[in-house]
Amino acid sequence: QVQLVESGGGLVQAGGALRLSCAASGRSISNYAMGWFRQAPGKEREFVARIRSGGSTFYTDSVKGRFTISRDNAKSTVWLQMNSLKPEDTAVYYCARARAGIIPLGQQDYDNWGQGTQVTVSS
């Protein structure tokens, strides 16, 4: 079991930036895909971005060109750089580790989740 702890959330004005961190402990994440998800009030949790163990990335359309996911396996840390933030980006952001040996296609493919960090973007 790996423990994931997110940090870096907060209140920011529209157009601003935040950098979220996900620190892993207990088990290595180097051989696993990692993902960021978010859940806005009254909505279901949705996929934001994914990075595979080799570094390839994938984003949901609404954040392409604004968000960047990255990782440092030696530090067991994954980041989500969020630029040009919009009020609709307001949500609790979660970090998750995918199941071993797969390319995750949905939330069901992730088996370790953090507690989340709140991001609020004011207009």
Per-residue pLDDT, 2: 92
pLDDT values of the chain reduced to their tens digit, one per residue, 123 residues: 899 999 999 999 999 999 999 999 988 899 999 999 999 999 999 999 999 999 999 999 999 999 999 999 999 999 999 999 999 999 999 999 999 888 898 999 999 999 999 999 999
Per-residue pLDDT, 27: 84
Report the distance separating Cα 22 and Cα 8, nearest Å.
9
Residue 49 burial (C-beta neighbours within 10 Å; 0-12, 13-18, 19+): buried
Per-residue pLDDT, 82: 98
Per-residue pLDDT, 53: 93
- Cβ atoms within 10 Å, residue 101: 8
- Cβ atoms within 10 Å, residue 60: 15
Give, as one character, the DSSP assignment of residue 102: S
At 43 the three-state DSSP class reads: coil
